[in-house]
A and B are shown apart, each in its own frame.
Chain A
Amino acid sequence: MLSDLFPNVKAEDMIEATYETLYMTILSLIGVIIFGILLGLLLYLTNKNGIWENKYIYQITSAVVNIFRAVPFIILILLLFPFTGFLMGTVRGPNAAIPALIIGSAPFYARLVEIALVEVDKGVVEAAKSMGAKTKTIIFKVLLPESMPALVSGITVTAIALIGYTAMAGVIGAGGLGNRAHYYGFMRRDFDVVVVCTIIIVIIVFIFQFIGDMISKRIDKR
């Protein structure tokens, strides 16, 4: 019955495409979390009244973050073509998309991290200082744990944006559900493929949102 409704959809192709999308999303998400937190911390710590207050480092970091956020993702991929080829040895397939996905999303997440850190009660940071805590201790035992629910919901938002980006990357040959929808669906006018790809993407987004909300809620003891 399903095959009557979607005559051009092949289950194994869809599973492979879904796998590629998840692969790209999760691998780049790990990179985004690492670079995003590092950049976010750098922004927070070098900002005014921060522990490492430094106008120049803050402004440079901030400018870089803003520039990468301003460039539309589809253009970013094209701009990064040579870099990707050098780094991954190929410009096609899921692996090739990962550097662009990370560079495109990490600045966005960095801003969310910065906002999350600003929300941490200044008094608690002060209390840690009054106990003689080192900056390292303040980062790992105060700032990150105290902002964890916001960091996690930031990850959820970023992950969902990333799923969208993987679809875009798919259009220029990175594989995954976006690629399927474009080449096999749109180009061949098999619109049932487009519909199924869309449904799967929507389901993935819902699952990410659900898991993210659940974790955020569970760790929030406020």
Chain B
Amino acid sequence: MISIEGLSKIFKQDNKQLKAVDNLNLKINQGEIYGIIGYSGAGKSTFVRLLNRLEEPSSGKIFIDKQEITSLKSNELRLARREIGMIFQHFNLLWSRTVKENIAFPLEIAGISKDKREKRVQELIDLVGLSGRENAYPSQLSGGQKQRVGIARALANKPKVLLCDEATSALDPETTNSILELLVDINAKMKLTIILITHEMHVIRKICNRVAVMENGKVVEQGDVLDVFQKPQQAVTKKFVEQVMGNDEDNEMINQLIANSTTGKILRLQFIGESTNQALISEVSRKFNVDINILQGKITQTQHGAFGTLYVQMNGEKEVIEQACQFIVNETSVELEVIENAI
């Protein structure tokens, strides 16, 4: 769907050269939500702005849906841009226009007739959940509502791709979640490819299928979100994963717990894309005559199911505990590690 080959952007500032994007290669599939994460100054915004040529590339090629964006003339580029929606951190709405008029703006640009415009605007208002606020001005809306207008506006011309540059960074956690849910919803309904820039790993975790980690203008790591969470390779990536998962400082406490426990078995359960983790504990204790005591854990939900670790203490007959462990190993995708046999 989107293919990026050797893309670079060099900024020249009084004799100094800055490689904001450095020989970047990336393939993004139709219909996926692709996350790009990196710290401030990594070149994320520059990269996403290269995709619709708000920034002219210094070298490299961009193909979107087989069309070579990098070779388009300015009038062709204008037409191509109608098929690439974009939403912004600070929403960038026209304050002089109402919600309805803001959403109608890209339709006016595309030369859609007034009747059709009004119909489409109404559809979009319903889609993003802004019914009743169509005649409000942006200054009368909350941040989340403004971003909904931004999303409706970006979708007006039925784009193939949606570019999101820090679309939730100006919003509180609650509102961030509702906007992310809206994006997932749109992605599913319209089979729209979404490229999402962020510096927050929990955003990636919640909605992305794949992720690329950027540092100094380069993609230093990429892959399925779960793989990256499970086996982060680069130091930056590990730091981002820690944002969501916490780090291993907690081990101290586990050792304490182990030392104090006198009965049963202490197990470490590793969830990797397991979607039934809630049911697992109750299922095991129902099937086998064991008590399961949750000691500690951190489980997080991703687009591909649960991810994380759980420390539990299992009490019961020795053989039954053995059977229960066998069941977990053989029948579920949870990885099990026996940490301590107290018995």
Binding site for B on A (CB under 8 A): 121, 123-124, 126-134, 137, 141-142, 145-146, 148, 219, 221-222
Contact = CB atoms under 8 A, between A and B. Distances in A.
A112 B289 CA distance: 82
B171 to A, nearest CB: 16
A149 B88 CA distance: 25
A123 B90 contact: yes
Interface string B156-183: 0100000000000000000000000000
A131 B96 contact: no
Given A130-B52, A130-B81, A141-B105, A123 B96 contact: no
A206 B130 CA distance: 43
Contact of B54 (A126, A134, A146, A222): A126
Given A123-B88, A127-B88, A133-B109, A148 B81 contact: no
Contacts of B153: 127, 131
B95 A141 contact: no
Given A129-B54, A131-B106, A142-B94, 18 more contacts: A121-B92, A123-B92, A124-B94, A126-B88, A126-B92, A127-B93, A128-B109, A129-B81, A130-B52, A130-B81, A130-B86, A131-B105, A131-B109, A132-B109, A133-B78, A134-B78, A146-B96, A221-B138
Interface in B81-103: 81-82, 84, 86, 88, 90, 92-97
B95 A221 contact: yes
A211 to B, nearest CB: 20
B84 A130 contact: yes
Nearest to B90: A123
Interface of B: 52, 54, 77-82, 84, 86, 88, 90, 92-97, 105-106, 108-110, 137-139, 153, 157
Contact of A124 (B80, B81, B93): B93
Contacts of A130: 52, 54, 81, 84, 86
Contacts of A142: 94
29 contacts: A121-B92, A124-B93, A126-B88, A126-B92, A127-B88, A129-B54, A129-B81, A130-B52, A130-B81, A131-B106, A131-B153, A131-B157, A132-B78, A132-B79, A132-B80, A132-B81, A132-B82, A132-B109, A133-B78, A133-B109, A141-B105, A141-B108, A142-B94, A145-B94, A146-B96, A148-B96, A219-B96, A221-B139, A222-B95
Among B54, B105, B138, find the residue whose CB has the most chain A CB atoms closer than 10 A: B105
A196 to B, nearest CB: 42
A194 B323 CA distance: 110
B152 to A, nearest CB: 13
A221 B92 CA distance: 15
B132 to A, nearest CB: 18
B96 A221 contact: yes
Contacts of A222: 95, 139
A145 B98 CA distance: 13
Contacts of B109: 128, 131-134, 137
B13 to A, nearest CB: 13
Contacts of A132: 77-82, 106, 109-110
A48 to B, nearest CB: 13
Given A132-B109, A133-B109, A124 B92 contact: yes
A121 B137 CA distance: 16
B110 A221 contact: no
Contacts of A127: 86, 88, 92-93, 153
A41 to B, nearest CB: 17
A132 B110 CA distance: 8
Nearest to A129: B54
A128 B86 CA distance: 10
A121 B89 CA distance: 13
Nearest to A145: B96
A162 to B, nearest CB: 27
A123 B138 CA distance: 15
A121 B138 CA distance: 14
A126 to B, nearest CB: 6
A147 to B, nearest CB: 9
B46 to A, nearest CB: 13
Contacts of A134: 78, 109
For B81, B94, B110, which residue has the most chain A Cβ atoms within 10 angstroms? B94
A203 B79 CA distance: 54
A73 B137 CA distance: 43
